[in-house]
Chains A and B, each alone.
Chain A
């Protein structure tokens, strides 16, 4: 390999830190479910993203959700969701607990991007607490952004919207 090519390769490797950046795991799925329901945890259910439901989710995210089905946990009109959405280049995994159509808690479980990790702080994610869907199907409250983490903020906002929509779709609020 020529010196020129070697130098380009080094530059590329330096400029693609996302390829080597390690994911930050703030909470595992098991810890999240324990926090949501304690012990014993409810058995998981499945909701398929197809038909009109798929179109609605696509409209919220601006693209298809990268899975055809989602599992959720429902108990006493509360549901728990583990969802993923790409911030800039890599997926952010979040855990959302919804109680009677209101977000009880939204937390980042795993953050993989190399910038914008501030969205994992409670100072940001607590803004979602108590938020429900408005009449227009969007979040009824305004979520303040974070400078330098705009895409991650938007990703979490979209997922919060999606979780509230899916919660209503499951009928978990009806106790089913």
Chain B
């Protein structure tokens, strides 16, 4: 007697085909979804992407300008709105103007704030300037006695050694020097550009774009939609196959 080979239904074949195709996608979506749910705890919002090909893919470019100031053996650089101590990002800054060394501290001036850094590039303090009611800072320098002087709205202001309090310094001041930009080494500028580009793309954003398909543009979103529909089909076809199998089992009994 010839054994009859059961004919596979279209639903079963489609279920198997789509199930195998969607398996990798489902696993990825589950893992990325769980990771996104815990992104704050994992610090993904603060983490930055550094891979050049991903930054290129997103079209993230370097800063419009890098202004560097030699302070002793170190460089203070302003790249866009970011302040760097050598190649280390220290803080954001508004329109960087210059930097000086005074009483064991480095003092970087933006138009709206002064940023104090120690000799290892650690942020000591951020001093808001315009919130004092003064105009924007125009330049920073050193007085003959080594204390910091700032020109703001055409007026000169000098500080005590700890930069705690500021006094008007008269219409003319005996300055040792004003901070002027210099030419930082090319390798340092390259590191700054690389870091600056990476700062614009968080790990959380990258993961969200992978999870939604946006990383591949509008085509990626459509593909993800189709895969989502395939998963929906799998749920329904799985239910149909289960019910059909159950019914056939009852008949045999």
Contact = CB atoms under 8 A, between A and B. Distances in A.
A1 B164 CA distance: 50
B44 to A, nearest CB: 11
Interface stretch (B11-19, B27-35, B211-219, B236-244): B211-219
Nearest to B164: A44
Contacts of B46: 89
Contacts of B122: 68
Given A4-B217, A15-B214, A29-B128, A68 B123 contact: yes
Interface in A43-86: 43-46, 66-71
Contacts of B124: 67-69
Nearest to B204: A89
Interface string A9-43: 10110011001000000001110000000000001
Interface residues of A, number: 28
Interface residues of B, number: 32
B45 A5 contact: no
Contacts of A68: 118, 122-125
A9 B58 contact: yes
B177 interface: no
A7 interface: yes
A67 B205 contact: no
Interface in B196-236: 200-202, 205, 208-209, 214-219
B45 A30 contact: no
A8 interface: yes
A151 interface: yes
Nearest to A90: B92
B104 interface: no
A73 B224 CA distance: 56
A100 interface: no
A46 B163 CA distance: 10
B128 A151 contact: no
Contact of B59 (A8, A29, A67): A8
A158 interface: no
B164 A46 contact: yes
B125 A69 contact: yes
Contact of A29 (B131, B165, B216): B131
B242 to A, nearest CB: 40
B195 interface: no
Most buried by B among A6, A12, A71: A12
A110 to B, nearest CB: 9
B132 A30 contact: yes
B84 to A, nearest CB: 16
A12 B200 CA distance: 10
Interface in B159-184: 162, 164-165
B126 interface: yes
B190 interface: no
Given A8-B58, A19-B200, 19 more contacts: A4-B217, A7-B218, A8-B214, A8-B217, A11-B209, A11-B214, A11-B217, A12-B58, A12-B209, A16-B200, A28-B131, A30-B131, A44-B164, A46-B162, A66-B123, A67-B123, A67-B124, A69-B124, A71-B164
6 contacts: A7-B218, A15-B208, A68-B123, A68-B124, A89-B45, A89-B202
Interface of B: 40, 45-46, 57-59, 91, 118, 122-126, 128, 131-133, 162, 164-165, 200-202, 205, 208-209, 214-219
